[in-house]
Chain A
Amino acid sequence: MTAPATEAASSPLCARLDQVSKLFGSFAALRQVSVDLEPGRCYVLIGENGAGKSTLLRILAGLLRPSHGNVHVFGNNDPHDARARIGYMSHAPMLYDELTAQENLRYFASLYPERACLEPAAALRMVGLDPDLPRTLGQYSQGMRQRTSLARVLLPVPELLLLDEPFSNMDVESARQMVELLAGFRHSSRTIVITTHQRELAAPIADWVLALRAGRVASFEHGSPTL
């Protein structure tokens, strides 16, 4: 089963996966997945471990190349060409342990010279962290690192947010705050793709719920967003 992919390539889609497969040796992590991502929508990817969720996100981010099929992101045949417009958050914080949260964010902000980035302190406040904390990231709790990682992703105000398990290591209240924050981004026509095992946490912003099973699209259903 695939998500409907009927629009022309020139349509204002945020991203399109067309019959995408990804092989690691003889193991097929993704099998002929076709999905269209529209602007201003939130897509929630669910599935068991090894279903291909993270692989799908990494292909959309341009960090992996598909073995077969085509990927278009913002009209580019190679997502890598659109990387300034994509924000990718992994399981790992993707930040330096030896720097403070603000130093980490300042470092990444200065690598986006052509984008109007958020102020690092403002980005940290958005995710509920104190920007003046003198501690280095290595002394943060897992949840705080996760929030700093989200602040890094939000920094260049990307048009496509790819969030891999953003609620892991987070208490329920923090996860709700994060969902409210993401709802604001969705309302400003930004596309969000979230992989999660905690479907109920993402439900308030889920326009579509895409279930993956053994690398294939098992179902693609409308969500019932409330935010």
Chain B
Amino acid sequence: MTKVRIPTPLRPKTGGKSEVEVHASNISEMIERLETSYPGIKERLCDETGEIRRFLNIYLNEEDIRFLEGKNTPLKDTDEVSIIPAIAGGV
């Protein structure tokens, strides 16, 4: 099972869990599996065109998936995926 780290803003969708496990062969399938287990999470991860939202990055282990094969990046059961929001702030 691939470990997926869920960022704080998405935890309401996973019942508060910061880490979940999925069986998936690549990132696209991982997103679909997450949606099956946690309905509504896909639309928080992807925009209407299916692309990852512009405030989120997905890392496989320590590498941004955009520098691998994007959503086609293959996954192994020993992998760890981190969904990480880009830095924000405000006065």
Are both chains from one complex? no
Query: Which residues of chain B have a CB within 8 Å of any CB of chain A?
Result: none
Query: Which residues of chain A have a CB within 8 Å of any CB of chain B?
Result: none
